[in-house]
């Protein structure tokens, strides 16, 4: 049978045990021991909770996020290209390069409005050839000092329609997709828009974390005039908007792609949203 213990002794045992279990291997009190024990009258201080001490101001939010669809590609003018060239290797047409260069000029005009001398851009780009070429075209509009960095982001790639595509089969598949629903229909050996939604959800978490820690900020700076540019693909950008703004599947079904070289601007509003 368990022996009875004097209440005061029990309190002392619990207190001593708590201190010992919170000591590190050198016998020093760890952060967990810096809490108020019942009846001790000792209140915790801010120094005992260093994770609550703001060591530096939060980085400013990006001024804008630009969503850019790649310029006109060979696949946009000749579907037969998909039967002989891997989708990631399809390049821009001459018009596509013009689209990209014009897109860069429009972005530069927008970010420099108001005469801000410290406006900067940071790029996230799909690793497909047509998006990388679009990025190069956009980059021509900016002095090197304006470009903070570029990150190749595979999750921004195009929806996967399978490997080399059979032109006639794709026409049939797209008709079946129309009847089945554009969001949930999965191409054989490829992805559905719902699959793209899953990977864009992961990318959005990465992007949010980058924004929260100011990864895009120049070293040692707190620049409020940084603009993020996402260079990607039509459906992928629609999915990004759907995920960011929490649109429904029905709302997604009513969306169409941007034009090639098209831009959508998300701008910081009241309260940094």
Strand 64-69 and strand 263-267: the pairing is antiparallel
Catalytic residue among 133, 153, 158, 173: 158
How far is residue 86 CA from its own chain's centroid? Answer: 26
Cα–Cα distance between 134 and 116 in angstroms, integer? 25
What pTM did the predictor assign? 0.78
133 tagged catalytic: no
Q: What is the pLDDT of residue 35?
A: 44
Q: Which domains does the chain have, with CATH numbers?
A: 64-161+195-267 (3.40.50.1240)
Q: Please state, in angstroms and as integers, the Cα–Cα distance from residue 179 to each residue in 58, 124, 185, following that order.
A: 48, 34, 9
Residue 260 DSSP class: T
Closest by Cα among 68, 30, 63 to 262: 68
Provide CB contacts within 8 A for 192, sequence distance 6+.
183, 184, 185, 186
What is the three-class DSSP state of 265? Answer: strand
Please state the residue numbers annotated as binding site for substrate: 69-76, 130, 169
* pLDDT averaged per 10 residues in sequence order, the chain, 273 residues: 42 37 41 45 53 64 96 96 96 98 96 79 98 98 94 97 88 92 93 97 97 86 92 98 96 94 92 73
Q: What is the pLDDT of residue 114?
A: 62
158 tagged catalytic: yes
Q: What is the pLDDT of residue 100?
A: 98
Q: What is the pLDDT of residue 233?
A: 98
Catalytic residue among 3, 23, 51, 70: 70
Burial 202-219 (b: 16+ CB within 10 A, else e): ebeeebeebbeebebbee
Q: What is the pLDDT of residue 48?
A: 57
Please state the residue numbers annotated as binding site: 69-76, 130, 169
């Amino acid at each position: 049978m368990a022996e009875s213990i004097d209440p005061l002794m029990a309190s002392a045992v619990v207190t001593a045990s708590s201190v010992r279990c919170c000591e590190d291997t050198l016998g020093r009190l760890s952060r967990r021991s810096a809490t108020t024990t019942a009846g001790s009258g000792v209140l915790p201080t801010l120094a005992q909770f260093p994770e609550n001490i703001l060591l530096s101001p939060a980085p400013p939010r990006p001024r804008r996020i630009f969503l850019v669809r790649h310029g006109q590609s060979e696949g946009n003018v000749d579907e037969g290209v998909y039967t002989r060239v891997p989708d990631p290797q399809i390049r821009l047409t001459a018009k596509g390069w013009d689209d990209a260069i014009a897109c860069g000029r429009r972005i530069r005009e927008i970010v420099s409005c108001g005469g801000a001398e410290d406006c900067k851009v940071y790029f996230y780009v799909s690793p497909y050839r047509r998006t990388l070429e679009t990025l190069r075209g956009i980059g021509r509009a900016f002095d090197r000092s304006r470009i903070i960095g570029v990150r190749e982001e595979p999750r921004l790639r195009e929806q996967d329609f399978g490997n080399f595509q059979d032109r006639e089969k794709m026409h049939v598949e797209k008709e079946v997709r129309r009847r089945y629903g554009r969001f949930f229909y999965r191409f054989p050996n490829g992805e559905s828009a719902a699959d793209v939604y899953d990977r864009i959800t992961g990318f959005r978490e990465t992007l949010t974390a980058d924004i929260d820690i100011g990864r895009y900020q120049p070293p040692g700076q707190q620049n409020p005039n940084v603009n993020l540019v996402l260079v990607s693909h039509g459906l992928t950008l629609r999915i990004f908007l759907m995920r960011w703004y929490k649109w429904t599947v029905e709302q997604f079904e009513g969306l169409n792609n941007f034009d090639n070289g098209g831009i959508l601007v998300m701008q910081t509003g009241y309260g940094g949203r």
